[in-house]
Amino acid sequence: MTRRELLASLALELRKPATDAARKMLDAAVASGKLRAASLYVREGNTVLSAGFGAAKPETPFLLASITKPMTATGVMHLVDHRELALTDLVRKFIPEFDGGGREKITVQMLLTHTSGLPDMLPENEALRKRHAPLADFVAATCKTPLLFPPGTRMKYQSMGILLAAEIAQRITSTPFAEYLRQNVFLPLVMRETTLGLGKRTIASTAQCQVPADSDWNWNSPYWRNLGAPWGGAHATAENVGRFLRSFLTADGRVVRPATAQMMIHDQNTKLKDPWGIGFSVKPGSFGKRCSAFTFGHSGSTGTLCWADPESGGCFVLLTTWPAAQSSQVLIRPVSDSISESIV
C-alpha cells in the first residue's frame, strides 16, 4: 500500500462513525415505517458511498422536485455561453406577451435568482393541475399574474420564474426543453439516468412519493410525472445528481464555461439581504453544519437535498420518498449534518 493509499484509508476509518450514523438514521426511519425508500450518495475525492434504503437501490430514480431548478438554469446558461441570450436581456424580448404591470423590467437574471417578483406558484396552480393543463397554460397564466413586488427589489423564491427561463430556452432553440436538457446537459455529463419528465421509463420503475392517492394530479400521477415541469419535474438517480454537482466543482467546461460555473455557485444578489446563485442556493448554513460558507446546492419538496462544498471537494445527495414538510428536520437535515462532519 502506498503512503497516499494508507492516508486515504486512515481518513476513511476516522470518518466512518459519521457515515455510519447517517446510515443508521435512514435504516431506523425505514424500520419505523415513516420512510419507504431513500438513496444516499456521498463522494470525497475517489472515496464514494452509494447506498439504497427500504424499497430503493442505489440505481433507483427519484422525482427530484426543486433540484430540477439548477439543472434548468444550467441549460439556460449554456445558451448564454453561446451568446444566444444575455442575463441582462429583458424577458419580453423572447416572450413578447410578458409585458405590463412592471413585467417589462424583468431580466433573465431575475428569473434565475428569484428576484423577478413572480410568485412561487400561481393562484390557479391547483386548478391547472386538476385539469391536467400543459406547460403552455402555466406559461400563459404566468404572463398575466400580478407581481408580488417591483422587480429586483427583493428575493422571494419563485418557481414560475424558472418556468419562464425554460420557456425562453425553448423558444430560442425551437426544441422541447426536456430534449434540449438531455442533449446539452445530461448527455455531456454522462447523466444517463436523468430525464425531465419520465422519459422512456415507467412510474413503477421509480421511487413512489409518500403522498395520498386521492387525486390524478399528485406527485405520483402519470400527469405530473410526464409533465416535465422545469421547476420540479426531473427524475434521476442519486449518483447522477452527484455527477451534476461535481461538474461545478471541477468546472471542466463540458456544459458551461468554467467562469460561468463559478458565477452560478456564487451569490448574485449582493445588493439584497438574501443570497442566491444562478439556479443554486448558496446561503451559508443552508446545508450541513460543518459545510463551508462556499457550499452550494438545492433541496426539493419531495424529500430531497444535495450539496457540494468547494472547500472540501465533497458532495452529498439524499433522495427520499418522504416529503420534506415532514422529513426535513427529523431526517434529511440530521443526515446531511452527519455527512458534513465526515467530509470536512
Question: At a CB cut-off of 8 Å and minimum separation 6, what does 162 contact?
Answer: 69, 72, 73, 111, 112, 230, 231, 279
- Looking at residue 9, what is its pLDDT? 42
Q: Quick check: 122 and 142 in contact, CB under 8 A? A: yes
Nearest to 110 by CA among 98, 97, 123: 98
- Looking at residue 17, what is its pLDDT? 78
Q: CA-to-CA distance for 92 and 264, rounded, in angstroms?
A: 23
> What is the mean predicted confidence (pLDDT) over 251-257?
95
pLDDT in tens, 70-93: 999 999 999 999 999 999 999 999
pLDDT in tens, 296-311: 999 999 999 999 999 9
> Mean pLDDT in the chain?
94
Whole-model pTM: value is: 0.95
> What is the mean predicted confidence (pLDDT) over 111-130?
98
* Sign of the dihedral defined by the CA atoms of residues 134, 135, 140, 144, in that order: positive
Percent of the chain with pLDDT over 90: 91
The domain of 59 spans 3-342
Q: Please report which confidence band the pLDDT of residue 343 belongs to, taking 50, 70 and 90 as the band edges.
A: confident
The number of folded domains in the chain is 1
Reduce the DSSP state of residue 202 to 3 states and report it: coil
- Looking at residue 45, what is its pLDDT? 85
- Looking at residue 15, what is its pLDDT? 59
Residue 8 pLDDT > 60, yes or no?
no
Q: CA-to-CA distance for 259 and 40, rounded, in angstroms?
A: 30
CATH code of the domain covering residue 16? 3.40.710.10
- The DSSP element (H or E) to which 39 belongs, if any, is strand 37-44
- The DSSP element (H or E) to which 37 belongs, if any, is strand 37-44
- Looking at residue 344, what is its pLDDT? 64
